[in-house]
Chains A and B, each alone.
Chain A
């Protein structure tokens, strides 16, 4: 019966990004959410635990205030959360996040399968999963869209640049999953209430080896939202003829 650990990131929702004065990135309006594809990772962990009688837990690195994310994650089915947090964990780079996860997991946290989303919806650097696998010295399968588990053997269908590869590996393994793997469930009120009662194990900076200094320095960030004139035409025949005329005038169509 496999122990499945799922990593997620609590991120600012990109839908609320505004371009501030001078094109600065304005996140002051932003709401936070579980990174989109990490919801698929949580769902897959829970599905596998349901099918094979194992356990599903989540693990995340964040700021001490990010407890809303823990509750959200637990309402999606996992039975336990590991919360690595410290006020200093601001804008960590993927290598640092992977090191913190690896140190906590080595403490140890039991696992047979670790599941991550293919990339976070904020940085989308797609590094934490593969880096974590290397730190733990376990096999890594990326872009997985289907998983079959037979005892200690896992068969994965993963996306490749040419199409699809079917691969086989013995546990333990780390998977990164693409959104087509499943449809994440929508937690109901009962799930949210139950989530508040599930155990949360905390790790702070003192519990773990000091994090590596950052290898990357951010020298500029700018909003790049796309804004154009948005001239509207009526949906009736006359409006559409007007649009076609406009497109012809602008040379977009012959």
Chain B
């Protein structure tokens, strides 16, 4: 048996996984292995705390990253790590589920906290379910105990100057039946909503894309960022996805969140749970966002926002 494995997709989430991976490796008195396909980061992962790096060879142009799955699963079958952690990115969630499927392993999805339960030799994982309306703790006591960890659940590991470790290469994967034809990067939003102090959130109460300027002006007046609900980014495509808040998107923790025409379904509210003050503007007094808000205005956002701007300018 080998200790704790993590699959690092990039340095940012990789360092977060190292933080919890290192803790768990110390708990079970074993070592920490990082799997990566970025050879230039191998030494970095050691500096941040890995004892060992398993390096996946570069893929041909037409092969998607998922092509690595059989190689990783095979190595895990041989080495049988006690614990295997991935990030709950889209890629991480897919890889984890497919590797767990091949190994018949227990997998906790999108966990926000992990603990080692010594008495049961179990990994305990906390996660949200029912769209965030409930939390559960689950335990897995058979290797490989697998989990995907929600980004930003742990702070990134810091660099240790004298840390040493080994680097081994994994075999190249067989050609995948899935061929990559095209890869398009999505347009990135300018600001980062997860760090913003003020967030003005756009919901389906907005009638057309041009009207979003109303929210932009309010955000500007408050020195904040705009954000949106899932239908605005995904169904309407009015804003980039990294501005979307919620269960399947970003979590925010501003001092002030203002929801404009947002109904407040639990999957969205999950993303604003840690906001200090929540203000809701919605014309429907029975919208669930009011129960979750500190302050509310029942009214038409097209009338309320201009008045709000005026009151702020005084």
Residues on B with C-beta less than 8 A from A240 are 297, 304, 307-308, 311
Interface residues of B in 127-168 (CB under 8 A from A): 128-142
Q: Which of A127, A230, A236 is in CB contact (< 8 Å) with B293? A: A230
- Is there an interface contact between A230 and B296, defined as CB atoms closer than 8 Å? yes
Place the interface of chain B in its size category: 35 or more
B101–A225 contact, CB under 8 A? no
- State which of B255, B265, B294 has its C-beta within 8 Å of the C-beta of A228: B294
Give the contacts of A153-175 with B (CB-CB under 8 A). 155, 159-170
Residue with the greatest number of chain B CB neighbours at <10 A, chosen from A121, A164, A216: A216
For residues 55 through 114 of chain B, which have their beta carbon under 8 Å from a beta carbon of chain A? 64, 66, 89-91, 93-94, 97-98, 100-102, 104-110
A133 to B64 CA separation, bound complex (whole angstroms): 17
Q: Which of B90, B181, B312, B314 has a CB less than 8 Å from the CB of A143?
A: B90
* B266 and A95 contact, CB distance less than 8 A: no
Contact segment of B17-25, B34-42, B273-281: B273-281
A163 B186 Cβ-Cβ under 8 A = yes
**B142→A215 contact, CB < 8 A:** yes
- Please, which residues of chain A bring their CB within 8 A of the CB of B105? 215
Residues of B within 8 A of A225 (CB): 133, 266
* Chain A residues, Cβ within 8 Å of B184: 163-166
**Interface size grouping (class) on chain A:** 35 or more
Partner of B133, one of A94, A224, A231: A224
Closest to B180 in A: A167
| Residues on the A chain within 8 Å of B276, using CB | 252
Beyond A222-B134, A228-B294, whether A170 also contacts B177 by CB under 8 A is: yes
Whether a CB of chain A sits under 8 angstroms from the CB of B185 is yes
- In the docked arrangement, what's the CA distance between A170 and B178, Å? 8
Q: Name A223's contact: one of B134, B294, B307 (CB within 8 Å).
A: B134
B290 interfacial contact with A, CB 8 Å: yes
Q: Which residues of A contact B303 (CB under 8 A)?
A: 235
Known interface pairs A17-B130, A141-B178, A231-B296; A218-B136 also in contact (CB < 8 Å)? yes
Contact A25 B311 (CB under 8 A): no
Instruction: Tell whether, in the assembled complex, residue A216 and residue B140 are in contact, meaning their CB atoms are under 8 Å apart.
Output: yes
B16 to chain A, nearest CB (A): 15
B90 touches A219 (CB 8 A): no
CB <8 Å contact, B142 and A167: no
Contacting pair A135 B101 (CB below 8 A) = yes
Complex: chain B residue closest to A25, CB-CB = B134
- Asked if B214 is at the interface (CB within 8 A of a chain A CB), the reply is no
Q: Which chain B positions have C-beta within 8 A of A202?
A: none
* Given contacts A124-B129, A133-B101, A252-B256, A216 and B137 within 8 Å (CB-CB): no
- Least CB distance from B258 to A in Å reads 9
Which residues of chain A from 224 to 254 have a CB within 8 Å of any chain B CB? 224-237, 239-241, 243-244, 246-247, 250-254
B307 and chain A: residue at smallest CB distance: A240
Instruction: Find the residue from A15, A139, A217, A223 having the highest chain B CB count within 10 A.
Output: A217
Counting CB contacts under 8 A, is A179 at the interface?
yes
B278–A228 touching, CB < 8 Å? yes
Partner of B128, one of A160, A224, A252: A224
Tell which of A14, A93, A142, A215 has the most Cβ of chain B within 10 Å: A215
Give min CB distance, B284 to chain A, whole Å.
Answer: 13
Q: Is the CB of A237 within 8 A of B110?
A: no
Q: Please indicate the chain A residues that have their CB under 8 angstroms from the CB of B247 in the complex.
A: 124
The one of B102, B128, B183, B292 in contact with A165, judged by C-beta atoms closer than 8 angstroms, is B183
Task: Check A42 for interface membership: any CB of B closer than 8 A.
Answer: no
Contact A232 B298, beta carbon cutoff 8 Å: yes
Inside 8 A of A140's CB, which chain B residues have their CB?
66, 94, 98
Query: Which A-chain residue is minimally distant from B13 (CB atoms)?
Result: A161
- Closest Cβ of chain B to A75, distance in Å, is 23
Partner of A131, one of B100, B129, B235: B100
Q: Least Cβ distance of A13 to chain B in Å?
A: 9
Contacting pair B255 A252 (CB below 8 A): yes
Contact between chains at B134 and A218 (CB < 8 Å): no
Q: Which residues of chain A are within 8 angstroms of B50 by Cβ–Cβ distance?
A: none
Query: Taking the complex as formed, is A178 at the interface, i.e. its CB lies under 8 A from any CB of chain B?
Result: yes
Q: Which of B64, B131, B135, B298 meets A235, CB within 8 Å?
A: B298
Does A29 interact with chain B (Cβ within 8 Å)? no
B8 within 8 A of A: no
A121 partner residues in chain B, CB cutoff 8 A: 130-131
- The answer to the question of B198 belonging to the interface, with a C-beta cut-off of 8 Å to chain A, is yes
Q: Which residue of B lies closest to A179 (CB)?
A: B234
Q: How many whole Å from B168's CB to the nearest CB in chain A?
A: 25
Determine if A251 and B293 form an interchain contact, defined as CB atoms under 8 angstroms apart: no
Whether B132 contacts A243 by the Cβ 8 Å rule is no
Question: Which residues of A lie under 8 Å from residue B179 when comparing CB positions?
Answer: 167-169
5 sample A-B contacts, Cβ–Cβ < 8 Å, listed by A number: A124-B247, A127-B107, A168-B179, A227-B292, A241-B314
Known: A124-B109, A125-B109, A243-B295. 9 other contacts (CB 8 A): A140-B94, A142-B90, A143-B90, A165-B183, A166-B180, A166-B182, A224-B133, A226-B269, A254-B223
Ranked 4 nearest A-B pairs via Cβ: A235-B299, A215-B106, A134-B101, A163-B186
